[in-house]
Structure 1
Amino acid sequence: MRPGLARTGYAPPAWLRSPHVQSLLASSPLRALQARRRLRQAPATHAQTLLEVEGGVRLQGVASVPVARTPRALALLLHGWEGSADSSYMRMTAAHLLRAGLVVFRLNFRDHGGTHHLNEGLFHSNRLDEVVAAARAVVARWPDLPLLVAGFSLGGNFALRLALRAPQAGLPLRHVAAVCPLLDPARTMDSMEIGPAVYMRYFERMWRRSLARKRALFPQAHGFDDAVLRLPMRALTDWMVRHATEFPDLDAYFDGYSVAGERLRALPVPADILMAADDPVIPLEDFHHIAAFPNVRLELTAHGSHCAFIEGASLDGYGERWVAARFLAALDGLDPAVESSDDSCGEYDHASA
């Protein structure tokens, strides 16, 4: 793998160059139907799986195994905040990987994918220990396979932190792929507060719904009232930090799961990162900096919005295909082929100028 800034193979048609159109289509029911269809067409078996790990934590996921062929590797997929193992991008990525002969485990984070009942404590973004433990439990089921990890948005952040922890945890991690990963939580909060309000409102609505469900399941542990649920994102996060974590304040909490600055310079395994210049959620700052790190290769696209990268009317996504291509290249010991033309690179340079 050659680190640095890679050319992009993503060049959507003109009607797909609005980040808001991209976001709308990525979360549409039509794409969800397409994702289910793609996964059904992949020759594999699927099993809901409960993982019981250290500290009495229980996490649930879906294990998918290709049929009629010997698996090449094990891929662990991590979704974004308020997504799930059944998010469209998770299903589509799994379909690509299964057709390539990989075992796929789609993990639900705590309190995601309808798993609020499994643990009393609230999900928060510094719960890396249980994700590492879940990865070890998954690896124990297929101990002879090399591990590959892919994540989207907050899942990309978890994937990169898991990679930093892999040697200490004894994980046989070969490669990481992260799509629009959250690098700097504090900067992302600032960006969302001044960006299009629709994205902030979406995450607020989803998180409030999740917290209300948790309160209903564990009223003895979570006695907050509706006034708390009506708090805006920053204030609600601050409340959660003070009541459900061991961090003294919001700044310490954000720093706890940041991978900005020099943190990724120590990555022990190669990591491919896909990022869109027009991402309305994750700010572009810091990405050029990490592209200079020894084990990081960054692909920047002019368009794609946040984890969307819709390619056309079929609603298939470049991001899902990109993850599979990077994983296969890693397994074969190859550098991924450059699919783009100089024009597409020039389009990005112009867009970011």
Structure 2
Amino acid sequence: MQSQLSYLRYHLAGFSLGGNFCLRVAAAAHDHAIRLSSATAFCPVVHAELANSALVEPRNWLYNAYFVRKWKRSLRLKNLHFPETYALEQFARLKSLDDMNRELIPRYTSFTQLSDYFDAYAIVDDRLRKTVCPCYLHFAKDDMIIPVEGVERINNHGNLQIVVTEHGGHCGFLSNWRFDSWQDERLVQIVSSFEPTKP
């Protein structure tokens, strides 16, 4: 995008798995000549194995069903374009995320072990040490998908600003009882802070 569209500043933001991707891009930006002014993540997946374990808990059956449905929809689209690679009858019997992970990851990725696959896109330990732009991470203690304990596994090398709130659930940070989005306000605040102050 930067090769086609020229702007003074580029900001990247993401939610959940998109937040994880956003932070990994920020960590790789310097090595790949990607210009970023900031990266903002709300409830980013810290380690997929932790998130997957939370998702398959009985209390999260609704989330599990949602992601299974969403994944199968994606597979149906792939089958439409690549029927020789993605056979629908193979997926019909898969009822949970655990089933789908065990079946699909070894088949369609270079990983034979689920643990290796999950670890490949974790942001724990020193994975974010190469970030050169400010990164803003937001977590909630009552997030039912991203265990807040995982935040302690992120090593902060100075460019990370980590905010942990009491409430917010999974990407549901609100400002008030009218359901105004605190996330939107926060993102505008962050991006605006990089604009030059008007006299």
Q: Normalising by the residue count of structure 2, what TM-score does the alignment of the two structures yield? A: 0.88
The Cα of 1:216 is off from its aligned counterpart by 3.0
Residues 257 and 242 of structure 1, relative CA distance in 2, 3 Å threshold: same
Alignment counterpart, residue 169 of structure 2, candidates 305, 311, 317: 305
* Structural mapping, 1:30-179, within 5 Å: 138-179=1-42
Deviations 1:117-175 (A, max 9, x none): xxxxxxxxxxxxxxxxxxxxx11233242211111111110110001111111111111
Corresponding residue number in structure 1 for 2:120? 256
The Cα of 1:260 is off from its aligned counterpart by 1.4
Poorly superposed stretches of 4+, deviation over 4 Å = 226-229
The Cα of 1:288 is off from its aligned counterpart by 3.7
1:196 aligns with 2:60: yes
Alignment counterpart, residue 244 of structure 1, candidates 98, 105, 108: 108
The Cα of 1:301 is off from its aligned counterpart by 1.1
Higher strand share: 1
The Cα of 1:314 is off from its aligned counterpart by 4.1
User: Matches of 1:200 and 1:275 in 2, distance apart?
Assistant: 20
The Cα of 1:214 is off from its aligned counterpart by 2.2
1:317 aligns with 2:193: no
User: Matches of 2:93 and 2:186 in 1, distance apart?
Assistant: 38
Corresponding residue number in structure 1 for 2:96? 232
User: Matches of 2:138 and 2:62 in 1, distance apart?
Assistant: 23
Query: Secondary structure of the equivalent of 1:265?
Result: coil
The Cα of 1:266 is off from its aligned counterpart by 3.1
Alignment counterpart, residue 205 of structure 1, candidates 59, 69, 76: 69
The Cα of 1:326 is off from its aligned counterpart by 1.1
Residues 302 and 308 of structure 1, relative CA distance in 2, 3 Å threshold: same
Deviations 1:188-236 (A, max 9, x none): 1112222422111211122122212322332122124155552421221
1:279 aligns with 2:131: no
The Cα of 1:181 is off from its aligned counterpart by 0.5
Q: Normalising by the residue count of structure 1, what TM-score does the alignment of the two structures yield? A: 0.52
1:220 aligns with 2:84: yes
Corresponding residue number in structure 2 for 1:123? none
Query: Secondary structure of the equivalent of 1:168?
Result: coil
Contact 1:242-1:248 at 8 Å conserved across structures: yes
RMSD: 2.1
Structure 2 residue ranges without an equivalent (≥5): none
Structure 1 residue ranges without an equivalent (≥5): 1-137, 334-353
The number of equivalent residue pairs is 196
Aligned sequence identity (%): 28
Residues 158 and 243 of structure 1, relative CA distance in 2, 3 Å threshold: same
User: Matches of 1:144 and 1:166 in 2, distance apart?
Assistant: 16
Deviations 1:293-318 (A, max 9, x none): 31111111111111111334543210
User: Matches of 1:313 and 1:302 in 2, distance apart?
Assistant: 16
